[in-house]
Chain A
Amino acid sequence: MSINRKELTEITNLAKLDLNTQQTEEVCQSLNQITALVERIKKADTAQVEPMFHPCDFWMPLRLDEVTEDSHKAQLLALAAHADGDFYLVPKVIE
């Protein structure tokens, strides 16, 4: 399996990253070294094996669905580069 430049462009679109032409070449090469490494997983017969998505393969604690946190609205908004009143400012999303 290898990743070509067209697929890398799709990946960067999905991941919301920009690469220039030189970076695209370098990243393509480097990702293909890694995909060659991960190909090894195909050596094992896993057809009858259940995926293990998590080490806690058992019951996990539940909690009531209720608000337990204090509001940190002012402190959180203060972390934004651009905010106005109770709102974050972003470029126009809808035409």
Chain B
Amino acid sequence: MINLSLRELQQCLHKKQISVAELASVYLDRCHQYNPILNALVHIDADIKPDYLLAAQVSQGPLAGIPIIHKDLFSTQGVTTTAGSKMLANYVPPFNATVVSQLNQAGMVQLAKANMDEFAMGSSNEYSAFGAVKNPWDLQRVPGGSSGGSAAAVAARLAPVATASDTGGSIRQPAALCGVTGIKPSYGRVSRYGMVAFASSLDQGGVMAVSADDCALVLTAMMGHDAKDSTSIAADKWTWQAPEDASMKGLKVGVIPDWLEQLEDQDIKQSTLAALDTLVAQGAELVDVDLPHADLAVAAYYILAPAEASANLARFDGIRFGQQSDGKSDDVNDMYRKNRSAGFGAEVQRRIMLGTWALSSGYYDDYYCRAQRIRRLISEDFKQAFSQVDVMAVPVSPEVAFKHGTKSDGVSMYQADQFTIPASLAGLPCLSMPIQPARNLPVGLQLIGPYFNEQVILTTAAKYQLVTDYHQHMPEAFL
């Protein structure tokens, strides 16, 4: 059962080979069995809520009755939503995020909430206030982050699909490190209402699942304009049709030779080149493109994202909700400082301080505004590249999953985001799909599309997955 695609699961439900409750129980049992090993989840429903079973009966759509896990930054009415932070350890939202409402309406059955780096700040899931997540392929290694709980959960088949979010690579990098498919849609494609904010001009909700086809089915139910989020765009919704054949004839795929050269891990390089060869064998034409300003992307991002975070996280003062320190406060400022210092972890505090510095008088023009100008240059680079190609295929991560505790300084972790940040700054749709593993650990290939064209990356990935089976590989311990 756990190896079936969403379409196959739907067929089983439709033919009454299994009931919605039985299917949810299969996965719920796995959550209870494996979460003590993985720590991928911060909340597991004790049993299946009757509301979900009813919604699954009412909905006739392709997702009716399909179990799902939500990243714990999507607000879930009546269910604790922590964003991986002690600050929100007891926060129970009185409302659902729009993404959650849409998927509930589609009849999906919510099972659990996924662990994550605190406030989505991290690339290893070691920065969660609720403990590090373990990679199902090697428990000594990280699953990536910040959506590492979602990635580990799908990799171990605790659910067939999970929501996730991506600010600078938080869907693509953990998807790559855990061997699942994950898509970050174009900025504005999915409502951010009810998604705990990190960096508002970069955050975007998305999906992780086994295959591109599974991701597409869920994404089509999540996307669209939401009156509650003015940055969600009222563009035409597209409908998803899975490709019937694997031919990529006529498709121009952009590759960046410099990025391939930067891959020091020769096994990852070989995997990436082999994946590109497969695309060519399927009929695609590879075209060299260049993003001349991309080498400045990490530097610009680590000004812009902390700056937005410092503003967004100003709301956490411990008064209306969130952690309140036990210590007695002399005045309100003293109370703010005590609450925030006790509630936020070290990495979140570091990014708030960095952002406060970048926005402070004397540095605003030199750093913040200049970084926004770099962002424009990178966006223009992408426009130039997409005048020559239909889709770009580049690495996701320069490394496979690393061992817990081996990256103690922030800078080395930040620099590993070098291949994911450029598309984030430009707001482009991008995904990671599993390719040939390196040293028995998963590797991903990143596909980037033009703005608001998720179809081209999903179709390319789905066609690649018609001729390969890397996306179906599962860690043996969780078979």
Contacts and interface: CB of A to CB of B under 8 A. Distances in A.
Interface of A: 3, 7-8, 10-12, 14-19, 27, 30-31, 33-35, 37-44, 46, 49-56, 60-63, 68, 72, 75-76, 79-82, 88, 90-93
A80 B320 contact: yes
19 contacts: A15-B349, A15-B353, A16-B340, A17-B337, A17-B340, A17-B341, A31-B350, A31-B357, A37-B411, A38-B303, A44-B373, A52-B379, A56-B231, A60-B233, A72-B94, A76-B320, A80-B321, A91-B335, A92-B331
Interface string B70-96: 000000000000000000000110110
B372 interface: yes
A52 B372 contact: yes
Given A80-B319, A91-B334, A51 B302 contact: no
A72 B332 contact: no
Interface of B: 91-92, 94-95, 186-188, 201-202, 225, 227, 230-234, 293, 295-296, 298-300, 302-303, 310, 314, 317-321, 324, 329-338, 340-341, 344, 349-350, 352-354, 356-357, 360, 366-367, 369-377, 379, 409-411, 414-415, 425-427, 451
A11 B334 contact: no
Main secondary structure on A side of the interface with B: loop
Contacts of A68: 227
A57 B304 CA distance: 17
Nearest to B302: A38
B374 A56 contact: no
Contact of A38 (B186, B299, B320): B299
A93 B317 CA distance: 14
A38 B337 CA distance: 27
Contact of B350 (A30, A55, A72): A30
A82 B91 CA distance: 14
Nearest to A81: B324
Contacts of A51: 369, 372-373, 375-376
A77 B375 CA distance: 40
Contact of A90 (B186, B332, B349): B332
Contacts of A15: 310, 340, 349, 352-353, 356
B320 A90 contact: no
A55 B333 CA distance: 35
A12 B340 CA distance: 11
Contacts of B186: 55
B296 A44 contact: yes
Contacts of B188: 55-56
A68 B303 CA distance: 36
Among B187, B354, B375, B451, the one with the most A-chain Cβ atoms within 10 Å of its Cβ is B354
